[in-house]
């Protein structure tokens, strides 16, 4: 059973390093959560380093720049790893048979913002599927709440038996107040249709290993897994990946599971039953659950 927390500071001293998700934890796609920034400031005062682990299809510097634009100070975290960076490195290195078999012509599904994951590499971005050797999916062009508009292009790619590389394993996020669908869900539809798919991002434990390596390198010391805490909002990605990597996790209810769980926060029996249903659905269990970081601004 997961432990319900009233205040994040109650467990802050039990861990040496913190991995924070971005969307649904630090921001909602439009602006940062003020209380999360208070939490990050408190961790900095405690000399507890924070590293960001995101399924963003942006590269690391792009991600840091975007956070600065949103009002998240760069001195509140010490490093970043993203699914976009992971995808970029894999496309560059072609380290396994799947990537070695990809041709040089890619069809990009996603906004122009995410083209840096491939536009400095030895690939040609082509305008039609007929010219493509594979599909690189970074995201949806607009925030969508239905997959129907993507059916024709997915079906056309399936007809050509094109492999698909997905740079963002997220299936849904809360954008402002709206639940929107992401590239990971399109990739799942493609795979269910018989397509060959490679996903980048959480819950792949290699993402956690990479940010763990980054943390140890930057800190200049070994950090044991039992001293790391993952802070995320999604059972499907953040928490499931933390379980697979063998580290503790806290699920915050400001993101994808808020609507299902927050109404029952004051009724623990009902809350635990609802949480158990979700845990069973996603096969993932957080060590802790917290509603928000709201108590932090009272302690600073």
**CB contact at 8 A, 125 and 95:** no
pLDDT at 181: 86
DSSP state of 27: B
Phi, psi of 173 (to 5 degrees): -145, 165
pLDDT at 144: 66
Fold agreement (3-55+204-299, 86-199): yes
Cα–Cα dist 257/234, whole Å: 7
Long-range contact set of residues 115-122: C-beta below 8 Å, sequence gap at least 24: 116/58, 116/59, 116/62, 116/84, 116/88, 117/57, 117/58, 117/59, 117/84, 117/87, 117/88, 117/91, 117/167, 118/88, 118/91, 121/88, 121/91, 121/92
Phi, psi of 246 (to 5 degrees): 85, 35
Question: Would you tell me the crossing angle of helices 205-219 and 83-93 to the nearest 10 degrees?
Answer: 100
- The residue whose two tokens read 């396994």 is 96
Q: Could you read off the pLDDT tens digit of each residue along the chain, which spans 300 residues?
A: 899 999 999 999 999 999 999 999 999 999 999 999 999 999 999 999 999 999 999 999 999 999 999 999 999 999 999 999 999 999 999 999 999 999 999 999 999 999 999 999 999 999 999 999 999 999 987 766 678 889 999 999 999 999 999 999 999 888 887 888 889 999 999 999 999 999 999 999 999 999 999 999 999 999 999 999 999 999 999 999 999 999 999 999 999 999 999 999 999 899 999 999 999 999 999 999 999 997 654 444
The count of C-alpha atoms lying within 13 angstroms of the C-alpha of 219, restricted to the half-sphere facing its C-beta, is: 21
User: Helices in 122-239 by DSSP H: which ranges?
Assistant: 151-159, 183-192, 205-219
- The residue whose two tokens read 């069809």 is 107
What is the distance of C-alpha 63 from the center of its chain?
12
Token pair, residue 102, equals 């990809």
pLDDT at 176: 81
Cα–Cα dist 259/23, whole Å: 16
Q: Is 246 left (phi over 0), alpha (psi -120 to 50) or beta?
A: left
Give me the CATH code for the 3-55+204-299 domain, please: 3.40.50.1000
Give the domain 86-199 fold: Rossmann fold (3.40.50)
- The b/e string for 218-250 (b: 16+ C-beta within 10 A; e otherwise) is eeeeebeeeebbbbbbbbbbbbbbbbbbebbbb
Q: Where are the domains of the chain?
A: 3-55+204-299, 86-199
């Amino acid at each position: 059973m997961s432990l319900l927390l009233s205040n994040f500071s109650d467990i802050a001293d039990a861990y040496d390093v913190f991995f924070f998700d971005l969307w649904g934890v630090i921001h909602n796609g439009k602006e940062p959560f003020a209380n999360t920034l208070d939490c990050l400031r408190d961790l900095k005062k405690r000399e507890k380093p924070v590293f960001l682990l995101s399924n963003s299809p942006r590269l690391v510097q792009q991600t840091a720049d975007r956070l600065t634009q949103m009002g998240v100070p760069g001195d509140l975290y010490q490093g970043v790893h993203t699914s976009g960076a992971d995808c970029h490195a894999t496309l560059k290195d072609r380290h396994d048979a799947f990537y070695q078999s990809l041709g040089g012509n890619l069809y990009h599904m996603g906004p122009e913002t995410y083209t840096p994951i491939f536009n400095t590499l030895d690939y040609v971005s082509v305008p039609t599927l007929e010219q493509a050797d594979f599909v690189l999916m970074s995201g949806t062009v607009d925030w969508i709440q239905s997959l129907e508009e993507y059916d024709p292009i997915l079906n056309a790619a399936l007809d050509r038996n094109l492999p698909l590389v997905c740079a963002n394993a997220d299936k849904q996020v809360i954008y402002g107040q709206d639940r929107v669908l992401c590239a990971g869900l399109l990739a799942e539809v493609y795979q269910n249709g018989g397509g060959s798919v490679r996903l980048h991002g959480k819950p792949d434990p290699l993402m956690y290993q990479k940010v763990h390596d980054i943390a140890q390198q930057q800190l200049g010391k070994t950090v044991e897994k039992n001293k790391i805490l993952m802070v995320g909002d999604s059972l499907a990605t953040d928490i499931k990946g933390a379980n697979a990597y063998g580290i503790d996790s806290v699920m915050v209810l400001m993101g994808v599971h808020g609507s299902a769980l927050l109404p029952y926060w004051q009724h623990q029996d009902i809350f635990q039953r609802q949480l158990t249903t979700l845990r069973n659905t996603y096969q993932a269990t957080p060590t802790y659950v917290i509603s928000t970081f709201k108590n932090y601004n009272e302690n600073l």
